[in-house]
């Protein structure tokens, strides 16, 4: 028990140090911007009213189809497209309220919250500030979805991406297999006739050789004539001592 009592001051010191560090961090993060402009309540409300009127005019332009006239404008064209894409999810507009208006000497941002019957949306106005003027440089409409809807969209995007990838891989494998069969079949068709022709040539040559040996061996008259010619060449009276074993046709011409 005494050991635990001794450790209590140590824990207190650690907690105090953490609190000091947190306070220092919070003060450094919340340091004011030297270029920030402080708007009066009246100025802030004027920005909210102007932004609300612009949102209503965008909605009217989309509903009446006159947004096509501003399609080529570098600022209002994309703004109308963004609002038109988000309008389907917003549903009926119930109310429009200002969320925040932050300005510096060079730029500013006005955020408007649109309360819709289906989904809420945030319209962000980007403003360029000068000494005596202010110009809107961009307008973006962001629909606010619930966590479940975001997870559903992420799952659908993942399934679509994976399904497309697998479909392309299967198609590529089928194409490769088809090319392999076509190339292999063409090669087989080219080699088979040559092999068959070579085999037929060999069979014809062997048949002709056998035919030559057989035909001439079976001809008894020819054998007798050849034997008599050989005996006369050797100077013998008869061909009794000669035996003709085979006769082959000579290719030599005399």
Mind listing the pLDDT tens digit for each residue in 193-226?
555 566 666 655 555 554 555 454 456 677 777 7
* Distance (Å, whole) CA 14 – CA 18: 6
Where does residue 27 rank: exposed (0-12), middle (13-18), buried (19+ CB within 10 A)? Answer: exposed
Mean pLDDT, rounded, for 109-116? 95
Cβ neighbours of 96 (radius 10 Å)? 20
Local confidence band at 19 (pLDDT 50, 70, 90 cut-offs): very low
Contact in structure between 110 and 48 (CB atoms under 8 Å):
yes
Question: Which pLDDT score is estimated for 108?
Answer: 93
Beta bridge pairs of residue 141: 123
pLDDT mean across residues, the chain: 77
The HSE-up count of residue 122 (CA atoms within 13 Å, CB side) is: 11
Q: Return all residues near 125 (Cβ < 8 A) that are at least 6 apart.
A: 51, 54, 109, 110, 111, 112, 136, 138, 139
* Distance (Å, whole) CA 90 – CA 92: 6
Where does residue 86 rank: exposed (0-12), middle (13-18), buried (19+ CB within 10 A)? Answer: buried
Question: Which pLDDT score is estimated for 51?
Answer: 94
Cα-flanking dihedrals φ and ψ of residue 32, to 5°? Answer: -70, 150
Question: Which pLDDT score is estimated for 72?
Answer: 80
Q: Greater confidence, 247 or 24?
A: 247
pTM (two decimals): 0.53
Report the percentage of the chain scoring pLDDT > 90: 32
Mean pLDDT, rounded, for 117-141? 92
Question: Which pLDDT score is estimated for 26?
Answer: 45
Q: Does domain 35-144 have CATH number 1.10.10.200?
A: no
Q: Greater confidence, 227 or 106?
A: 106
Regarding beta strands 107-116 and 36-37, do their DSSP bridges make them parallel or antiparallel, or are they unpaired?
Answer: unpaired
Instruction: Say yes or no to pLDDT of 236 above 50.
Output: yes
Contact in structure between 84 and 63 (CB atoms under 8 Å):
no
List the domain boundaries for the chain.
Answer: 35-144, 158-209, 219-254
Question: Which pLDDT score is estimated for 1?
Answer: 47
Where does residue 117 rank: exposed (0-12), middle (13-18), buried (19+ CB within 10 A)? Answer: exposed
From 57, 65, 71, 82, select the one nearest 138 (Cα to Cα): 82
The H or E element that residue 127 is part of is strand 120-129
Please state whether 116 falls in left (phi above 0), alpha (psi between -120 and 50) or beta: beta
Mean pLDDT, rounded, for 116-141? 92
Question: Which pLDDT score is estimated for 45?
Answer: 94
| Range with lowest mean pLDDT among 13-22, 93-102, 171-180 | 13-22
Q: Which residue has the tokens 């009066």?
A: 40
Local confidence band at 118 (pLDDT 50, 70, 90 cut-offs): very high
Question: Which pLDDT score is estimated for 67?
Answer: 74
Cα-flanking dihedrals φ and ψ of residue 18, to 5°? Answer: -60, -40
| Range with lowest mean pLDDT among 55-69, 141-155, 239-253 | 239-253
* 159-169 tens-digit pLDDT: 888 889 989 99
Question: Which pLDDT score is estimated for 9?
Answer: 52
Instruction: Say yes or no to pLDDT of 5 above 50.
Output: no
Question: Which pLDDT score is estimated for 27?
Answer: 42
């Amino acid at each position: 028990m005494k050991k635990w009592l001794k450790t209590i001051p140590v824990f207190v010191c650690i907690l105090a140090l953490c609190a000091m560090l947190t306070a220092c961090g919070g003060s450094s993060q919340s340091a004011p911007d030297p270029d920030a402009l402080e708007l009066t309540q009246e100025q802030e409300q004027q920005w909210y009213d102007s932004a609300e009127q612009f949102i209503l005019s965008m909605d009217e332009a989309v509903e009446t189809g006159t947004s096509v006239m501003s399609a080529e404008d570098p600022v209002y064209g994309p703004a109308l497209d963004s609002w038109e894409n988000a309008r389907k999810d917003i549903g009926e507009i119930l109310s429009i309220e200002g969320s925040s208006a932050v300005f510096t000497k060079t730029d500013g941002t006005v955020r408007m919250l649109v309360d819709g019957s289906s989904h809420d949306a945030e319209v962000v106005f980007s403003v360029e500030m000068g000494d005596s003027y202010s110009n809107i440089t961009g307008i973006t409409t962001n629909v606010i979805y619930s966590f479940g809807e975001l997870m559903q969209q992420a799952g659908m995007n993942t399934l679509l991406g994976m399904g497309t990838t697998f479909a392309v891989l299967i198609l590529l494998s089928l194409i490769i297999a088809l090319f392999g069969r076509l190339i292999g079949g063409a090669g087989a068709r080219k080699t088979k006739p040559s092999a068959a022709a070579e085999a037929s040539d060999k069979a014809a040559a062997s048949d002709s050789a056998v035919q030559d040996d057989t035909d001439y061996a079976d001809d008894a008259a020819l054998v007798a004539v050849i034997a008599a010619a050989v005996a006369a060449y050797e100077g013998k009276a008869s061909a009794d001592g000669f035996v003709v074993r085979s006769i082959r046709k000579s290719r030599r011409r005399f």
